[in-house]
Amino acid sequence: MKTQKQTLKFFIAIIVSSLIGGLLGWFIIHFETAIFHGLLNFQNLILHNNLYIQFFIFGLCALLILSIFFSAKDKLNRLEPNDDVLFDQIDHQLGVLLPLISATMISGFCLFGITVTNALNEPVLVGLILFLLNTTFSLIMMVLSIKLTKVLYPEKKGNPLDFNFDKEWIKSCDEAEKFVIYKASYRCYQLMNFVYCGVMTLCLLISIAVNIGIFPYLLIGFLWITQTLVYARSVNQFQHGQLDNVQ
């Protein structure tokens, strides 16, 4: 009975997805001109205001990062041995800080790529300076934030500027922390499969109205296949090795 329900849910999901895809396809075909101009206007907006967007994003992210960092540092200086409430607050702030720094660096790479693409219409030197400032700031704050984390968790090991930092860091984690890391990694793997599928479908639909070329498909396919093969290879290695030594 359970198997039948699961099979029924699967086919219902397929039917619903097909209906949604069909409706989106019909919508794009009938509003092709409006969609084309909308995408073109959006692209021009990004290209013509790229440097301003970089200034805004970098400034906003830097302000948020510095605010969170100094708040966590101040709380860490006031932390007492048995103050679990303040400890949890610092841990939460550091948990927000590190992903925010990474997102800031990634956005810098993306926007600098747009600067290079639009090199004929905007000063590349200004974009390069912004990119270097963003990258340098992000690296410095990453190092300082990890040092702050190591003060909160003295058992943590690893130099953030070392290529083996991730391995050393995971080695210094206890079993509960490793379990959280592995579980989060698998959830990310599952989610990214849906993301790749969704982006590929979106590209297919957009290509009805706009000629986007072959490179989006090649890039998404390459990343999707790479993730799948790396995951499969890792599973095979860990099944035939010592799981306790996973790094």
Question: Does one domain contain both 146 and 183?
Answer: no
The residue from 132, 165, 198 where one domain ends is 165
Distances (CA, A) of 167 to 106, 125, 163: 22, 37, 9
pLDDT at residue 7, rounded to an integer: 67
User: How many helices and strands in the chain, by DSSP H and E?
Assistant: 8, 0
**Are 71 and 111 contained in the same domain?**
yes
129 and 85 housed in the same domain:
yes
Distance from C-alpha of 32 to C-alpha of 46, rounded to nearest angstrom: 21
The single residue listed with the structure tokens 């000629």 is 211
For the chain, the average pLDDT equals 83
Q: Please report, as a single letter, which amino acid is at residue 109.
A: F
pLDDT band for position 2 (cuts 50, 70, 90): low
Domain edge (last residue) among 106, 134, 165: 165
In the numeric block, the tokens 């509003």 are attached to 31
Residue span of the structural domain in which 188 resides: 173-247
pLDDT above 90 (res 60): yes
pLDDT-derived band at 69, boundaries 50, 70, 90: very high
* The pLDDT value given to residue 18: 67
**Cα-based angle 204, 206, 211 (whole degrees, multiple of 5):** 95
> Which one of 104, 134, 165 terminates a domain?
165
- Total domains present in the chain: 2
Same domain, 223 and 161: no
106/188 same-domain check: no
> Which residue is listed with tokens 């073109």?
40
CA nearest to 158, candidates 180, 183, 149: 149
Q: Find tokens 């290529």 and name the residue.
A: 163
168 close to 160: Cβ distance less than 8 angstroms? no
Q: Which of left, alpha, beta for 213 (phi over 0: left; psi -120 to 50: alpha)?
A: left
> Is residue 22 in some structural domain?
no
